[in-house]
Structures are given as structure tokens and as C-alpha cells.
Amino acid sequence: MKRKSIFKSISMLILFAFSLTILASCSKDGKSAAPDINDVTKISFKETAGFDYLKSLDDKYVTINGYMATNSPVDGSFIFLMNLPYQNCPFCVPNTSQLSNTIEIYPEKGETFAYTTQAIKVVGKLEVAESEEKPFTDSYGYEFCCKIVDATYSVIKSEELSEEVALWQKIADSDVVNDIYQMYDYLNFLCTWDTCFVKSYTNENGEIVPGYYLYASDAERYIYSENGKYNYGYKDGYFDSIVEKIEAVDKNAFAGLVANVRKAQTIAEKALSDLENQNYTSEYKYIEKFGVEDWVFTLNNGDELSAETKEAYNEFSDWLGSWEM
């Protein structure tokens, strides 16, 4: 009996020790414990890591900083992490043999990602393709040599960033960049409404209703009507409100962005003046696109206005590009 008790005690101790080992490898909520920070390798877009180096990190934990692409899946199943903010062209630079401007990030099982415009730090396990000739392919058809799985992210704290990138966190938090994108939608319509059209469609009786290019009266309705699609930009103080929002973050640091908004305002005022003063022509002719004859309007200063809008927008794009991670 005494011998049996000894064996029983030893068995219990072994089971207890095994249980401690299991618990030590798991967090309280049952997920894998976070990797030791000393075992995490930092990678970056700027270093443009080659395939061989990435392969040496296969199945190891890495960390990388970047921005979520605006067209990351809305269900949060994964994100396109990119080197620049407010991008919607993942893998525009090929990513089958090196880490370029995009990497796909997948959350831990059962988790999803919430979208943010701020700079983030990602930590997760790097998975690398078998070879450069056999890259991963996602549901969108993108091909790439590596991805990060079992990942978590955190918004980077200002004190962890350079002074310049810390400014980005502040401007991103204000959401004024989205306001500026919307401002350029308004400006683009003002300067190109004569090229906009309504598509042909089939009505409830099965009849095809031909489309048409917008009339001047259509443009006026879109802009001046209270519920018009672009009425938001016509409202009093619209451009001033954007400038106030920018300057509330940092008046001196974002003086160039304010100047860009003012440039857009000047172009908008010219385009509105042309519409109000009927500075356009109209011609009744056959429109092959819709298979009917109809009126087609043409802005007299359309090319000039479009060129000025493109120049202003390119300046804004360059400003966004200055925040490369």
C-alpha cells in the first residue's frame, strides 16, 4: 500500500508539472502567448528585403510599421499593409521576389481587424512562399512572396515615432484627409461635368432607356439643390471649414496643405463662374455611345480647368507621399 501511494504521488507530480508547462505556453484567454520581444525581427518596406532574407525568417515572428490600404476587406478578415497612407493600389509594385510596398496581414484565428487611418505596428508570424516561382495567391488574384499571419496590431504612439510621423498621427486622427478627398470629388465634378453621363438602363417594362451626357441644368441641380450630390461643396464656408480643421491640428506644420485647399477653392470659384455665366457650348448630334441623337455640352475652359485640378491634386498626392513609413 505504501509503495502504491508513492507511485500515485509521483504520477500526480508529473501530471501537475505537465499542466504547468501547458499553462505557461498559453495566455489566460487560451490564445498563444505573445512572442518574446527579443525574438521578434523588425522588417520594413524601405529596406526592400529580398526573397532569400525573407526565407530565413520563415515561420518566425516579425514586426513591421505601415498604414492600412483604404481597400482592405471591409469584413476585417485581413488587411493590405502599405508604406504610404490612404493608398488603394496594393501590389502596384510587384511583390513576388521581395518586400516592396505591400504585405498582407492576417489576424489570429477568430479575430478581425478594425480599420484605422493612423500608422500602425504589426506583430505576427512571417510565412514565405516555397519559392519565387511559386508565390502565394489571394482571393483577389494578387501574387506575393510573403505574408504575416496570427497577427495583432497597435496604433503607434507618438513618442515611438519621429516628430514628422507623429504629426501624421494627429492629422489622421482628425479625419481631414477624407474631407480633402471629398473636396477633390467636388472640384472634379465642377471642372468635368460635361463629360459625365447617365448610363442606359432597362425599365420595368423591359424597354431600354438610353443614357445621356449631363446637361448644364443637370450640373446645376447636382450642385445647387439642397439634396444634390455635390451641394456640400457649394455651401457657405465649405473651404474655410476644411482649413480650420487643418489649422486646429497644427497651423505651421500644415501650411502647405492649407495652401493646397486654397488653390482648390480658387479653381472651384472659376468653374462655378463658368457654369453661372454659361461659358459653354451645346450641340445636337448623334451619340454613338447611346445610339441616339441628343444635346452634348462642352465647357469652353474645360481643358484648362482640368489641368489646374490635376496639378493641385498631384500636389496633394505628393504631400501624402511625404509620409512614407
CA distances from 118 to 8, 115, 145, 170, 177 (A): 58, 9, 26, 8, 11
CA distance 315 to 190: 19
Domain assignment present for 314? yes
Is the dihedral angle over the CA atoms 190, 191, 194, 198 positive or is it negative? Answer: negative
pTM: 0.77
In this prediction, what percent of the chain has a pLDDT beyond 90?
71
Q: Are residues 247 and 316 in the same domain?
A: yes
Q: Are residues 93 and 178 in the same domain?
A: no
**Amino acid at position 218, single letter:** D
Q: Are residues 198 and 142 in the same domain?
A: no
Of 62-71, 81-90, 94-103, 259-268, where does mean pLDDT reach its minimum?
94-103
Q: Are residues 108 and 197 in the same domain?
A: no
Domain assignment present for 107? yes
Q: Are residues 125 and 218 in the same domain?
A: no
Q: Are residues 151 and 52 in the same domain?
A: yes
Domain assignment present for 144? yes
Of the residues 116, 140, 156, which one is the last residue of a structural domain? 156
Q: What is the pLDDT of residues 236-289, one digit of tens each?
A: 999 999 999 999 999 999 999 999 999 999 999 999 999 999 999 999 999 999
CA distance 199 to 289: 10
Higher pLDDT, 209 or 20: 209
pLDDT of residue 199: 95
CA distance 199 to 54: 48
Domain assignment present for 18? no
Looking up residue 68, the CATH number of its domain turns out to be 2.40.50.140
CA distances from 65 to 8, 60, 123, 261, 315 (A): 53, 17, 9, 29, 25
Q: What is the pLDDT of residues 63-80, one digit of tens each?
A: 999 999 999 999 999 999
Of 160-164, 199-203, 268-272, where does mean pLDDT reach its minimum?
160-164
Q: Do 137 and 143 meet the contact criterion of CB atoms below 8 Å apart? A: yes
Opening angle at CA 61, ends 144 and 132, nearest 5: 25
pLDDT of residue 18: 38
Please state, rounded to an integer, the average pLDDT across all residues of the chain.
Answer: 87
pLDDT category of residue 35 using cuts at 50, 70 and 90: low
The whole domain housing 315 covers 163-321
Q: Are residues 231 and 309 in the same domain?
A: yes
Q: Are residues 206 and 92 in the same domain?
A: no
Residue 20 pLDDT > 60, yes or no?
no
Residue 2 pLDDT > 80, yes or no?
no
CA distance 211 to 194: 14
Q: Are residues 230 and 144 in the same domain?
A: no
What is the tally of structural domains in the chain?
A: 2
Domain assignment present for 29? no
Q: Are residues 173 and 268 in the same domain?
A: yes
Of the residues 156, 184, 213, which one is the last residue of a structural domain? 156
pLDDT of residue 17: 39
Domain assignment present for 27? no
Q: Do 95 and 103 meet the contact criterion of CB atoms below 8 Å apart? A: yes
Opening angle at CA 68, ends 156 and 29, nearest 5: 65
**What cell was used for 125?**
508570424
